[in-house]
Structure 1
Amino acid sequence: MEIVELLAKNGLVFAFVVIGLVMWVSYQLSDKLSAGRLHGSAIAIIIGLFLAWLGGTISGGSKGLADLTLFSGIGLMGGSMLRDLAIVSTAYGVNMREIRKAGLAGATALALGIIVSFIVGALVAAAFGYTDAISMATIGGGAATYIVGPVTGTALGASSEVIALSVAAGLLKAVLVMIGTPFVAPYIGLNNAKSAMAYGGLMGTTSGVAGGLAATDKRLVPYGAMTATFYTGLGCLMGPSVFYLILLAMFGN
């Protein structure tokens, strides 16, 4: 009991230990079971989702594993402060001269990526009966990334059910991008900084792009993550404003 109490009092430190262990196990499974084709980060996300479900089932709470006293530090570690710090920090490995090379192609990819994701997400939401502008904008934001969805939904006052759906959509996209990137890379010329920035702008999900590029070529990660980070920020800005107003004008509710 004394050990449990000690770990609970140092929750954030213990959270780093737990996440480190999960990452180690994930990369071991990646190497042993798929020879690195299924990236360790993708396996870690799957394990994390399972642990969140398990923690929520045991505690009956709404914060997953963080509802258990022993793992309460994970709630802080996985909070918005450290998340945003991790996203922004990826930009510091970028060579600005390489970014300028992306030029119009990078900007076009960024715009298309956001617009197409919102449109597809909104159409899927409408197909399943969520035809009000708030729900369509929120789920459309989730189709962009699992960060844009909750930000949009919170700003617009969406229900917790709709926000949860937006997160689920974003997580599915992140896992698919992470797993699929190494397979499609040879066919789309994803082997240089310029193409990585265009790819990050099109896909948008920072975690998915970073994980997928890490499995493809680790040198490309900062470039893809840079435009993906811009994508997230732009999506958070446009979701509850421009896209919502367009949907409101079209559907009137």
Structure 2
Amino acid sequence: MSYFINELFGTRQLVFAFVVVGLLTWLCYAFSKHITKNRIHGSAVAILVGLAVAYYGGITTGGKKGIADIPLFAGFALMGGAMLRDFCIVSTAYGVRLEELKKAGAAGVLSLIIGTALAFIVGVAVAYGFGYRDTVSLTTIGAGAVTFIVGPVTGSAIGASSDVIALAIAAGVVKSIAVMILTPFLAKPFGLTNPAAAMVYGGLMGTTSGTAAGLAATDVRLVPYGALTATFYTGFGCLVCPSVMYLVMKVIFG
């Protein structure tokens, strides 16, 4: 038993990180089900808990890696690093099928374009308001507002600093949580009650995790339709943000 504990906490730190995340996720989903009655999705609760734990680790150790600065949780540095992040990006891209996008029709495609552009503009405006003026930083944070995957992909492609990439990820996470929590409350006022509306909503909001979780808390029957267009949102953002959007930003800001 002591050997097992030593291996898990000592040389198997990544495995221990997965164990901790799995346990926290299970607890958060249980909290969502029994306490909030699924009005706040379990993934939203899990993200909030993760951010709180990371913040606690950062202020406790004075380090730069959050909870990973505590030796017991060092495995989180690898788990949350670029390698697994890029793996998530690739796996998301593999899930995209063009024939599925055709099912969404012109409205789905148009919502995808409008949603990506609006999120990018809002992200750039917020970044500009907080004092960022260089094209690379503005583009990266704007891409982060599209999704927390598009942000780091764009930042890595155009040479953004690690601090700016971190802000881009944070912007995407905030958006994802907001969509998760607000969707059930805005569903009826926005007419989000049928498959066609769900497809348009998925294209406008993107953030597959946020859209799927929000629709699941609204009406589980709408999830496949919202996810249909939201799945393409990340891939489309990864395509246009480091290229078209960056070139447009170069023209505007030099």
TM-score range, shorter chain: 0.7 to 0.9
The letter for the 2-side match of 1:201 is G
Q: Does 1:84 find its partner at 2:89? A: yes
Which position in structure 2 is the counterpart of 1:145?
147
Rounded to whole Å, the distance in 2 between the matches of 1:195 and 1:178 is 17
Which position in structure 2 is the counterpart of 1:207?
209
The letter for the 2-side match of 1:234 is F
Rounded to whole Å, the distance in 2 between the matches of 1:153 and 1:90 is 23
Which position in structure 2 is the counterpart of 1:51?
53
Alignment identity in percent? 54
The letter for the 2-side match of 1:170 is G
TM normalised by structure 2 equals 0.85
Indicate the SS of the match to 1:34: coil
What's the CA shift for 1:86? Answer: 5.7
CA contact (8 A) 1:209 1:225 kept: yes
What's the CA shift for 1:90? Answer: 6.3
Relative to 1, partners in 2 of residues 1:127 and 1:56: Cα closer, same or farther, differing over 3 Å?
closer
My pick for the range that moved more, 119-128 or 6-15, is 6-15
Rounded to whole Å, the distance in 1 between the matches of 2:250 and 2:96 is 35
TM normalised by structure 1 equals 0.85
Aligned runs of 1:18-37 on 2, under 5 Å?
18-37=20-39
The letter for the 2-side match of 1:7 is L
Rounded to whole Å, the distance in 2 between the matches of 1:128 and 1:107 is 32
Relative to 1, partners in 2 of residues 1:73 and 1:219: Cα closer, same or farther, differing over 3 Å?
farther
Indicate the SS of the match to 2:187: helix
Q: Deviations over 1:55-114 (max 9, x none)?
A: 33445443333444443444444422552366457669xxx67x5442000000000001
Rounded to whole Å, the distance in 2 between the matches of 1:108 and 1:225 is 16
Which position in structure 2 is the counterpart of 1:248?
250
CA contact (8 A) 2:89 2:149 kept: no
Which blocks of at least 5 consecutive residues in structure 2 are unaligned? none
Which blocks of at least 5 consecutive residues in structure 1 are unaligned? none
Aligned runs of 1:141-220 on 2, under 5 Å?
141-220=143-222
Which position in structure 1 is the counterpart of 2:117?
115
What's the CA shift for 1:241? Answer: 1.5
Relative to 1, partners in 2 of residues 1:64 and 1:180: Cα closer, same or farther, differing over 3 Å?
same
Relative to 1, partners in 2 of residues 1:89 and 1:235: Cα closer, same or farther, differing over 3 Å?
closer
Indicate the SS of the match to 1:226: helix
What's the CA shift for 1:202? Answer: 0.5
What's the CA shift for 1:3? Answer: 4.3
Indicate the SS of the match to 1:20: helix
Which position in structure 2 is the counterpart of 1:7?
8
Which position in structure 2 is the counterpart of 1:130?
132
CA contact (8 A) 2:104 2:229 kept: no
Relative to 1, partners in 2 of residues 1:71 and 1:224: Cα closer, same or farther, differing over 3 Å?
farther
Indicate the SS of the match to 1:49: helix
